[in-house]
Amino acid sequence: MTQKDGDRSNDITPVAVAGSTRPKSFIDVVSIVQNYFLAEKNGNDLPENLLTLKGKIVISEVGFKGAFVSGLISILLTPFFVGVIERYIPIFGSYEFTLFDQAFAVVLTLSFSMGYSLILASIGRYYIGKLSKRAINWLMAGLTVAGVLKIIIAFVFYNTLYASILEEERVARFLLWFYPQIGYPALNKIYRFLMGVRPVLLTSASFVVLTTFLMITIPWAFIFAASRKTRKMIERERIWR
């Protein structure tokens, strides 16, 4: 439908409806948002119900799944890397810890959460129109829910390990099952190592909170910055038309 014959500047551009073709990956969601963005950029007034409830849910699922999987990986690996930072666990087999070892551990610890956050941030340039914003908001809602769930799981997991599974008497009784097949000096070394790394679990819980906060706030910062840049670019294009 056009305003007048020969003028197709306000044609309703065919737009994929989120939910009609279920997006399975971040790329699928980007394609949907791009369609919304291009249509709204050209001045088309898209109906609000184009993004249905089902579409909102499936978009949020994409954000949730990606963040949740990276979160689980982060939960499992964070104690190891924190142990390196606090000089309990050798990352390259040597207890002669260097600044490079610790920096390498920090980078690896942050890479899982920050990597996914930066990928999400790339969609910020499309945070302009009504439907584009709504789709991105639902994507970020899924990310936020996954982040909160990640913190809960991390606290339960780490505190269970600290207070119950790695409790001193429990660990000692468990290790004694292997005596005399394994000599006492070796068992004592294992015991001292486990007791030494035990406090790392509490530090890891705090570290997960920090990384989750960054995982949520970094995409929003990039989204707002990129959207402002895109908005200025669109305004310049309109001036020179």
CA separation for the pair 54, 22 (Å, rounded): 9
- DSSP string of the chain? --SBTTB-TT-----PPBTTB---SHHHHHHHHHHHHHHHHTT----GGGS-HHHHHHHHHHHHHHHHHHHHHHHHHHHHHHHHHTTSS-SSS-S---HHHHHHHHHHHHHHHHHHHHHHHGGGGG--SHHHHHHHHHHHHHHHHHHHHHHHHHHHHHHHIIIIIT-HHHHHHHHHTTTTTS-HHHHHHHHHHHHHHTTHHHHHHHHHHHHHHHHHHHHHHHHHHHHHHHHHHHHHHHHT-
Over residues 51-70, the pLDDT tens digits come to: 888 888 999 998 898 888 88
Contacts by 182-186, CB closer than 8 A, 24 or more apart = none
Does the structure show a pLDDT above 80 at 135?
A: yes
Tens digit of each residue's pLDDT (9 = 90 or more) over 65-124? 888 888 888 888 888 888 887 777 777 666 666 777 777 777 777 777 777 777 777 788
Q: Given a cut of 60, is residue 46 above it in pLDDT? A: yes
Bridge partner list, 7? 4
Model pLDDT, residue 3: 40
Instruction: Indicate whether 10 pLDDT > 70.
Output: no
**Domain segments of the chain as ranges:** 26-161+203-239
Q: Which two tokens stand for residue 132?
A: 């584009």
pLDDT above 90: percentage of residues in the chain? 10
89/109 Cα distance (integer angstroms) = 14
Placement of tokens 């309703």 in the chain = 12
Query: Taking Cα atoms as reference points, which of 73, 58, 71, 72 lies closest to residue 26?
Result: 58
Instruction: Give pLDDT, residue 153.
Output: 94
* Residue 14, C-beta contacts closer than 8 angstroms, at least 6 positions apart: 35
pLDDT given for residue 132 in this prediction: 85
CA-CA distance, 223 to 107, in Å (whole number)?
23
Whether residue 156 has pLDDT greater than 90: yes
Angle at the Cα of 99 (from 104 to 93), degrees rounded to 5? 65
- How high is the pLDDT of residue 146? 92
